[in-house]
A and B are shown apart, each in its own frame.
Chain A
Amino acid sequence: MAAHHKMDDRVGRDRLEEMAQGVIGEPLDRPEGELKVSGRATYAMDGLPAGCRHGVLVRSTVAKGRLRAFDVDSVERLPGVRAVIADDRFIKNPAQGMAGKAPAQDTREILFFGQPVALVVADTFEQARHGAQILRQEVERAEDAPVSLDDPTAQLDTPSNKQSSSGDIDAAMRASPFTIDATYTTPGHASAAMEPHASVATWEDERLTLQASYQMLRYNRAELADALGIEEDNVRLLAPYVGGGFGSKLGIAPEAVAAAIASKELGTPVGVAMTRQNEFEMVLRRSDTRQRIRLAADETGRLIGIGHDALVTNLPGEKFSEPVTQATPFLYCGDNRAIGHKIARIHRTPSGSVRAPGEAVGVTALEIAIDELAAACGIDPVELRRRNIPDQDPSKEIPFSSHMLAKALETGAARFGWSKRNASPGEVREGEWLIGLGMASAARVNMLIESKASVTLTKQGRATIETDMTDIGTGTYAILGQVAAEMLGLPVTDVETRLGDTNLPPASGSGGSFGAASNGTAVFLACEEIRQQLCTKLDCNPEDLTLKDRHAVVGNRRIPVVDILNGEDIRGEGHVEPGEAEDKVRQATYGSYFAEVAVNSVTGEVRVRRMLGVFAAGRILNAKTARSQCLGE
């Protein structure tokens, strides 16, 4: 039986609050903690199957060109080497997040330095690595190719769906007493998860099993099947533990396709792990950016105009472009607006989603500009931001689902001691150290992604959650267990959570900060379905059922849940999908940052002495893992 919910409108009641177990939000330890601290949690390359060969990727050594041939013979003669494989189905780079189909193939066409071009497979890792290091490539080099953001020979794309304007920003800039017109640049970033990309492929007839390190398994299965030209049903992905993602493991990557092809060709399992160097060369990077920001304010510091023009980079043909201006349309008020977005096509590792795509670099630059405006107006930076909080989304003219920026600013300022700040630069010194206080607003758009999960209440009265969701360190095992325990009136130790297997119901995956809300809701719905079935057995209304400590309480009856189950399992499926709410209301998380920074006046050394983050992150499912997310990840 399935419970389905489409997110069209505010639900208007808080079902979790109506529950009685009292575990939701509690700072409980992670249930997989014992395995992780003892080295027993199995990541992709842990526990290789018997007879597994090792593959090492070979990379291109030019930025653009055509691969004519390899000196295969001299490598295949090496002891232990089984094959040098370069297949038309190999992929150049990882798929973009949620692509659901293969990224660019044909690795003989070289489009960036470090692109994978071949795989050397041997009995041992050392043999394969040696072969990969000495494999000679015969390459026809292309003419010079643009590789930097401001190369004048780079083609500049101006995607029409990424430009928008209202009012007249130029007129606003001319008419305002206070203006900022500044250009900021940010460098590219690498995700650099601690666990490098790794895949171990095993075939049984036409069925492929891949133990791997990925964030979004249902998409990854489709991408891998498409790259290989086989049916999705013949592909199973396993990723029970993922050693960090940060966006780098959203889409299927070259090592997975290469391992699958090599394994099929050799008839043995093949494991391929990227080297750390590969991570920086063939995994999608965050684009470097150049951002021009224009702000126009009246005498009171109230914004009349905002302009945000971004230039980012990507490989020719890649659809993704860093959504730099994502938060600009709704963060602050201002009637005159202009958003511009250009992509310089260059021959470097393609860019893609890296931790908080858009806001990480876009809000940073916007907030620096707001600080400059605060200085120009002579208004306190917290107060200036507070004055510019809009009462509805100023671009779409729709209401906010909720808006916590003012509260976050106020709470942060009070806790940090902002009122003690000396606003004149260079006035606070401790010996050779200059001390300054600074702050910024935080914003991140909220998304909901279609997600499914099943929950089984077994005849022994325990619960099992099943979904192909991943835990990349974010605490999925902990929070899903807490949702089910709360809904079914069980101690968390009575709930088992099975993740990371595409044989289980397809989840949102981990990405975009939507995992807990999307997949947590699917588990919640599955539990609602189980509660409904219990009500049928008890002949009561859902509102009258209390589940707590393995018992059902209805009216004046208190019955052990195992007695109601009477030797039978109950299974519920939950299915959530986004709906009209996306268009009806603007949804975002808000927060504030405050920092005390020391700069050495002699050496320029920078030290962050204390920092405070205040976040309105919605319902907290586990206070311990949520706090850890605020500190890092």
Chain B
Amino acid sequence: METDTRTTLLDALRNDLGLTGTKKGCDHGQCGACTVLADGRRINSCLTLACMHDGEEIVTIEGLGAPGRLSALQRAFIHHDGFQCGYCTPGQICSASAMLGEIEAGWPSSVTADVAGRPDLTAQEVSERMSGNLCRCSAYPNIIEAILDVAKAKGS
């Protein structure tokens, strides 16, 4: 694709490619509604220009699942009512998908007591690691339950 050098990855996805599952909440990296996966890493797509991602694999919420073939996280968000208005939800789910991989890979967070050990799967760890994704409806307790459910099912 060709796009304006000023076009953010977020606007390229939404306006040029018609992938509107990724949401614009603040457009300056504070809310996380635009979270996507770039080569597997979670990023705020509003804080980066499309032209900086030539050749990368970008996965958006549309790539994680669709009605009838939802991912485990998407199903858990529905079951635990991990959203209300739903606007932050695609970003939450993209973020959580990558976050679980980060825990699995042993990355510590600022609440990990032993940074050299394996981080525990606790509500506190999940809460800290998801703090870049705001939910104004305040579905946080349900979001954490949904994520922990999926993480524990994976681990068992």
Choice from B64, B67, B138 contacting A632 with Cβ under 8 Å: B138
Choice from B4, B24, B86, B93 contacting A473 with Cβ under 8 Å: B86
Closest beta carbon of chain A to B119's beta carbon, Å: 21
The verdict on A38 contacting B25 (CB below 8 Å), with A194-B134, A194-B136, A473-B84 known, is no
For A43, list chain B residues within 8 Å (CB): 20, 23, 87
User: Are B6 and A37 touching (Cβ within 8 A)?
Assistant: no
User: Are A34 and B86 touching (Cβ within 8 A)?
Assistant: no
List 16 A-B pairs, Cβ < 8 Å. Answer: A33-B77, A34-B70, A37-B65, A37-B86, A38-B67, A38-B90, A39-B60, A47-B20, A126-B6, A193-B85, A275-B27, A473-B137, A628-B84, A628-B137, A629-B84, A631-B139
User: Are A628 and B11 touching (Cβ within 8 A)?
Assistant: no
For B64, list chain A residues within 8 Å (CB): 38
User: Are A38 and B21 touching (Cβ within 8 A)?
Assistant: yes
| Contact indicator per residue, chain B 131-156, by CB within 8 Å of chain A (1) or not (0) | 00011111111100000000000000
For A474, list chain B residues within 8 Å (CB): 84
- With a 10 A CB-CB cut-off, give which of B22, B87, B141 has the most chain A CB atoms: B87
Q: Does B89 contact A (CB under 8 A)?
A: yes
For B83, list chain A residues within 8 Å (CB): 33, 36-37, 473
Choice from A39, A47, A127 contacting B61 with Cβ under 8 Å: A39
User: Are A46 and B85 touching (Cβ within 8 A)?
Assistant: no
Bin the interface of chain A by size. Answer: 35 or more
B-contacting residues, A606-633, CB 8 Å: 624-625, 627-629, 631-633
Docked CA distance A633–B137 (Å): 4
User: Are A194 and B93 touching (Cβ within 8 A)?
Assistant: no
Choice from B7, B20, B67, B79 contacting A46 with Cβ under 8 Å: B20
For B67, list chain A residues within 8 Å (CB): 34-35, 38, 40
Residue of A nearest to B138 (CB): A632
Docked CA distance A35–B67 (Å): 7
Q: Does A45 contact B (CB under 8 A)?
A: yes
Stretch at the interface among A217-225, A239-247, A597-605: A239-247
User: Are A195 and B25 touching (Cβ within 8 A)?
Assistant: yes
Q: Does A475 contact B (CB under 8 A)?
A: yes
Docked CA distance A48–B15 (Å): 8
Give A residues with C-beta under 8 Å from B: 29-30, 32-43, 45-48, 124-127, 130, 192-196, 241-246, 273, 275-276, 472-475, 624-625, 627-629, 631-633
Closest beta carbon of chain B to A559's beta carbon, Å: 34
Give B residues with C-beta under 8 Å from A: 4, 6-7, 11, 14-15, 18-28, 30-31, 33, 60-62, 64-68, 70, 74-75, 77-79, 81, 83-90, 93, 134-142
Choice from A29, A276, A632 contacting B25 with Cβ under 8 Å: A276
User: Are B20 and A243 touching (Cβ within 8 A)?
Assistant: no
Closest beta carbon of chain B to A340's beta carbon, Å: 33
Residue of A nearest to B68 (CB): A34
Choice from B7, B27, B78, B137 contacting A276 with Cβ under 8 Å: B27
For A632, list chain B residues within 8 Å (CB): 84, 135, 137-140
Closest beta carbon of chain B to A491's beta carbon, Å: 18
For B23, list chain A residues within 8 Å (CB): 43, 194-195, 243
User: Are A37 and B24 touching (Cβ within 8 A)?
Assistant: no
Given contacts A276-B31, A474-B84, A632-B139, list 19 more A-B pairs with CB under 8 A. A32-B86, A34-B74, A37-B86, A38-B66, A38-B67, A38-B70, A38-B74, A47-B18, A48-B15, A124-B7, A125-B11, A126-B4, A126-B7, A194-B31, A194-B85, A473-B83, A473-B86, A632-B135, A633-B137
